[in-house]
A and B are shown apart, each in its own frame.
Chain A
């Protein structure tokens, strides 16, 4: 199971524009990678059904930890046909996970800069944000984890991006989950349409 070392940053549109300008000038443009993601926030794990709409592919992913619980994410992943996304979501919902399900459209463009993959994204919940990622082989030593995290931090510094701390990520995702729970409850209680 490969390990992703992931770190994130949120910013406003002006900072997004500056970051994209810099990455287009000095990085490698890997192209658009828009997605629609159905994610299930489970205790200590994150299950995702991802419709890679730009690439025309789809996949199911189980991440071994949630955002805000460390930068290292062990993941199990397999591809499915894009036409099977709806059935996969129905299946997980039928298994009892519907209450933990959220969905989000991600407008996303990928770059590589100094060995770090950077996805510059927008979603309704996160606004403009970026994900910095280094992929490690399964069984990579702790030193490699630390080295990857340091590499990401250096790249973010070089690009003038302030990465979110684990505390900030945990608070942000907790606030999102609480707001989603409230929204679902309000929709459940709304009077039916006549």
Chain B
């Protein structure tokens, strides 16, 4: 299936500072990720509520929702979106969120990167995705058999807009928006960060200093396994959504 469209692996290119705009997992990189696994405490088995499991099965977004279709199978593509949504569901459960906030966090996580133009430091992609979400709210929530209420859309769009803005860089307006949607923002940011085990340098892997989520360390092991299982399944030929759904089945999450 998808391989890096150059002769070098992502780990080689990252080491040389030559990562391309569009980055695809390859065998050498997933083997390196697997062998570089840190000594992680086993995660407890999350018990996701039925609505969360139902939504996770629908997070394999249509390709035409992506601003750049070449990103669909890339490291910021649909596999990352689906794993981030699953991790958001897990963190929502760990934080005791109700059904409304859990579903908002899952939907926000599923589309948080869909307006990226490339896999590098794409400034403003969170803001673009928030605007896109507001314009397409009925379609997005409809995919999940949910109704796009103003409160849901506002909270999800805020979490998406702020997901690529470090807490320390919040403007006064950002801070005011954040305080109105704090738990959704914290969960989406932490879920996005937990999926960084897919990246080709260990210093880019999950760092608790960049998030505000008490359960962050608890689910590192599970996050690593989701990356490992789904990326290997994809490289074995599974299409991206199936690869993640298989990983969720293997971890008994959906």
A residues engaging B (CB < 8 A)? 13, 32, 34-36, 51, 53-54, 103-105, 107, 122-124, 127-128, 187, 190-194
Contacts and interface: CB of A to CB of B under 8 A. Distances in A.
Contact of A127 (B62, B136, B249): B249
A36 B138 CA distance: 32
A85 to B, nearest CB: 11
Contact of A124 (B136, B138, B242): B242
B92 to A, nearest CB: 23
Chain B contact surface mostly: helix
Contacts of B142: 190-191
B15 interface: no
Interface in B213-254: 233, 236-239, 241-243, 245-246, 249-250, 252
Nearest to A82: B237
Interface string B8-44: 0000000000000000000000000000000000000
Q: Which of B64, B65, B142, B238 has most A Cβ within 10 Å?
A: B238
A30 B139 CA distance: 45
A53 B239 CA distance: 11
B242 A53 contact: no
B239 A36 contact: yes
B252 A107 contact: no
Nearest 5 CB-CB pairs, A to B? A53-B237, A105-B242, A105-B238, A34-B236, A191-B139
Given A127-B249, A187-B62, A194 B237 contact: no
A13 B242 contact: no
B242 A193 contact: no
B250 A51 contact: no
Contacts of B138: 191
B143 interface: yes
A54 B237 CA distance: 7
Nearest to B237: A53
